[in-house]
Amino acid sequence: MDFALDEHHQAWVKEVREFLRAEFDVEAEEESRRRGGEASGPVLRKFRAKMAKRGWLALTWPVGYGGSGRTTFEQFLLMDEFAYWGAPAIDLTASAVAPTIMRFGTDAQKKRWLPAILSGEVECAIGYSEPDAGSDLASLRTSARRDGDVWVVNGEKLWNTGAEFATHEWLVVRTDPDAPKHKGLSVVMVPIDAPGVTVQPIVTWGGIRTNAVHFEDVRVDADALIGAENDGWRYVTTALDFERVSIGVTGGLRRLYDETLRTITSYEVDVRHGLAELSVKIENARLLNYRAAWMVDQGLMPNAEASMTKVVTTELQASLSAAVLELVDPTSFAAELARHLYRQAPYLRFGGGTNEIQRDIIAQRGLGLPRGASR
């Protein structure tokens, strides 16, 4: 089997690289690093607008929805190239929320949300985790109660990254408190500026900001509930699978490797062996990503496969950056990059579901193994 990129894909990577060369300068790279790869600062807001203008936020959306109709594999190639240069990825509103609305939303909801996401007018923070519901997400307690024509939302979400600049919360809530815990959940779109919503910053290590978001008697219209009432678990797990495909990109690791080779001056045997082993691991991670993206293009939903890419890439990020710091001059650019990737690695191992939970998914859904005896 030949895993090399064909001419069409090579031309696409070249186009993406030329765009980055023209639009993503040192100032943008520094802002991206400071903000943990989120397009939240003034320089990157402009960069994001240029991506939107090219249709690159909605790369894989069907043309009928105003997208570019490109494959998930092409989207992966773009995200990987972006990651190589430290540019912010296509955000989760376009890459996870929108495809989930396309699958499960009503026609009216598709008309309401998709064009607004496409134009950048709607941007979501992802409201899943709570103080007592992270890995065991289905234990969540934030609720939405029907009151005539509206839903009334109450509760607290934790780690809502990007809520400080988002327009809406893509919020999972309990709508049936009497149903089994996975069955009574729904997803609602809540405007961040609705009365009763409060956003409170939480700064994590490495200086990256996320938020706690409180909801007190927040009233949203009935149609803000996406798809069917109490079917929300399916929507959240689908959106999470889309999210995990995009967490595992390897571009940042390849750049670090290339910069390391440029920096190293002494090639003793153990250094050469170490570098060879790291290059095998990076290639392995890249091919796992190819498979997950290819599966989406075949109409399959990578589940265990998306979890595999996430585990392999995020753990490699920590071990690769630690290894590089042993090898290179601490004042070099490679060392600066390694320190940045090292600090970023722990939250990547948590974000989108922890790697322990991903291993559970691989064991149960990928390998068909039984659930652990203790659970």
Ligand X SMILES: Cc1cc2nc3c(=O)[nH]c(=O)nc-3n(C[C@H](O)[C@H](O)[C@H](O)COP(=O)(O)OP(=O)(O)OC[C@H]3O[C@@H](n4cnc5c(N)ncnc54)[C@H](O)[C@@H]3O)c2cc1C
Give me the active site residues, please. 243
Residue with Cβ nearer ligand X (263 or 355): 355
Q: How many CB atoms lie within 10 A of CB 14?
A: 11
- Distance from the first to the final alpha carbon of the chain: 41
Decide if residue 344 touches ligand X (CB under 6 A).
no
Decide if residue 15 touches ligand X (CB under 6 A).
no
CB-neighbour burial class of residue 269 (10 A; exposed 0-12, middle 13-18, buried 19+)? exposed
DSSP 64: G
Residue 249 amino acid letter: V
- Stretch of residues binding ligand X (CB under 6 A), selected from 126-134, 180-188, 219-227, 254-262: 126-134
Strand partners, 168: 124, 191
Contact 59, 75 (CB under 8 A): yes
CA-to-CA distance for 83 and 80, rounded, in angstroms?
A: 5
Decide if residue 167 touches ligand X (CB under 6 A).
no
Token pair listed for 104: 């499960």
Decide if residue 160 touches ligand X (CB under 6 A).
yes
Decide if residue 128 touches ligand X (CB under 6 A).
yes
Decide if residue 312 touches ligand X (CB under 6 A).
no
- Quote the least distance from Cβ 51 to ligand X, whole Å: 20
Contact 352, 243 (CB under 8 A): yes
Contact 183, 235 (CB under 8 A): no
Decide if residue 93 touches ligand X (CB under 6 A).
no
Decide if residue 134 touches ligand X (CB under 6 A).
yes
Decide if residue 37 touches ligand X (CB under 6 A).
no
Contact 244, 307 (CB under 8 A): yes
Decide if residue 129 touches ligand X (CB under 6 A).
yes
CA-to-CA distance for 144 and 219, rounded, in angstroms?
A: 9
- Quote the least distance from Cβ 91 to ligand X, whole Å: 11
Residue with Cβ nearer ligand X (236 or 320): 236
- Stretch of residues binding ligand X (CB under 6 A), selected from 274-282, 283-291, 312-320, 349-357: 349-357
- Quote the least distance from Cβ 348 to ligand X, whole Å: 9
Decide if residue 356 touches ligand X (CB under 6 A).
yes
Any idea which residue has 């996401």 for tokens? 117
Instruction: Supply the DSSP string of 261-319, one letter for each residue.
Output: HHH-----HHHHHHHHHHHHHHHHHHHHHHHHHHHHHTT---SHHHHHHHHHHHHHHHH
Any idea which residue has 């773009």 for tokens? 78
- Quote the least distance from Cβ 22 to ligand X, whole Å: 31
- Stretch of residues binding ligand X (CB under 6 A), selected from 26-34, 159-167, 256-264, 271-279: 159-167
Residue with Cβ nearer ligand X (41 or 67): 41
Residue with Cβ nearer ligand X (128 or 242): 128
Decide if residue 165 touches ligand X (CB under 6 A).
no
Token pair listed for 13: 């990577």
Binding-site string for ligand X from residue 199 to residue 218, where x marks contact by CB under 6 A and - marks none: -----x---x-x--------
Residue with Cβ nearer ligand X (148 or 372): 372
Decide if residue 155 touches ligand X (CB under 6 A).
no
Give the three-class secondary structure for 154: strand
Residue with Cβ nearer ligand X (152 or 208): 208
Q: How many CB atoms lie within 10 A of CB 346?
A: 15
CA-to-CA distance for 57 and 89, rounded, in angstroms?
A: 9
Of the candidate residues 87, 126, 236, 292, the single one contacting ligand X (CB under 6 A): 126
Residue 152 amino acid letter: V
Decide if residue 303 touches ligand X (CB under 6 A).
no
Q: Which residue is nearest to ligand X (CB)?
A: 134
Decide if residue 238 touches ligand X (CB under 6 A).
no
Decide if residue 342 touches ligand X (CB under 6 A).
no
Token pair listed for 216: 């007190």
Residue with Cβ nearer ligand X (52 or 357): 357
| Residues at the contact surface with ligand X, assessed by CB under 6 A | 126-129, 134-135, 159-161, 204, 208, 210, 347, 350-351, 353-354, 356-357
